[in-house]
Amino acid sequence: MALDTIINLANVSIFQKHNLVLTNVSLNIDKGEFVYLLGKTGSGKSSLLKTLYGELDLVEGSATVAGFDLSKIKRKEIPFLRRKLGIVFQDFQLLSDRSVNDNLMFVLKATGWKDKQEMQKRMQEVLDKVNLNTKGFKMPHELSGGEQQRVAIARALLNDPELILADEPTGNLDPETSEGIMNLLMEISKNGRAVLIATHDIMMFDKFPSRTIKCESGKIIDSKGN
């Protein structure tokens, strides 16, 4: 396996409860790749993402994500895996009773940061990256949907992850705002991180063509070929 490989799956079967949703999944994603995960609702996209970030156990096959072997990972190691990942959801999942800065601070504390100055510096860096450098004091409800999603992306970048997993990140946004979010995610992949984005927004794919992995009839079809 190449040093640049962030995700390596071989003959993986993915189960949701006891239902087999995807079978014989083999997949490599390298640093700096921008990859779409396509498929209808219920096709297994979210289950595949949940397997990658340790929410669903790996039952069959072998998988390595950001250097962690998912077939051997222990529960207590999952937070360390997640520190190497940035996860962005459709519904932002911001803490509504805290300012933007406090949302970011919460994650830094939860992931073991201690030095106050370093924490402030890091928060400012990620807010600059997503063009929200003046919005740190605002509450989530004072921001537009696109701005909230930018905060969610800033939060995902805090620990300088090797991989961003985005589950329908433009699902609640209008087309123009979605385009801004996609530009931002593309930019992140150009800086050497892998970005895997689950979406059924075909418009985005036309505007930002890239490698696709399609979940269909319990299998995946990779545009890159294996």
Residue 20: inside a domain: no
What CATH number does residue 92 fall under?
Answer: 3.40.50.300
pLDDT score recorded for residue 49? 93
- The residue count of the chain comes to 226
- How buried is 152 (Cβ within 10 angstroms: 0-12 exposed, 13-18 middle, 19+ buried)? buried
Whether 190 maps to a domain, the answer reads yes
Report if residue 151 sits inside a domain.
Answer: yes
- Which residues, 6+ apart, have CB-to-CB distance to 136 below 8 Å? 99, 100, 101, 104, 123, 124, 127
Domain contains 68 = no
Domain containing 121 equals: 32-48+78-222
For residue 57, being part of any structural domain is answered with no
Q: What is the pLDDT of residue 203?
A: 78
**Distance from C-alpha of 219 to C-alpha of 86, rounded to nearest angstrom:** 26
Q: Is 218 contained in some domain?
A: yes
- pLDDT average per 10 residues of sequence, the chain (226 residues): 83 89 94 92 90 91 95 90 89 91 93 92 95 95 94 94 92 89 92 91 84 93 79
In sequence order, what DSSP letters do the residues of the chain get, joined into one string? --TTEEEEEEEEEEEETTEEEEEEEEEEEETT-EEEEE--TTSSHHHHHHHHTTSS---EEEEEETTEETTT--GGGHHHHHHTEEEE-TT----TTS-HHHHHHHHHHHTT---HHHHHHHHHHHHHHTT-TT-TTS-GGGS-HHHHHHHHHHHHHTT--SEEEEESTTTTS-HHHHHHHHHHHHHHHHTT-EEEEE---HHHHHHS--EEEEEETTEEEETT--
| Whole-number pLDDT of residue 197 | 94
Q: Would you say residue 104 lies in a domain?
A: yes
pLDDT score recorded for residue 102: 96
pLDDT value, residue 2: 57
pLDDT of 205 reads: 81
Q: How many domains does the chain have?
A: 1
* 114 lies in some domain: yes
Residue 207 has a pLDDT of: 87
Radius of gyration of the chain (CA): 17
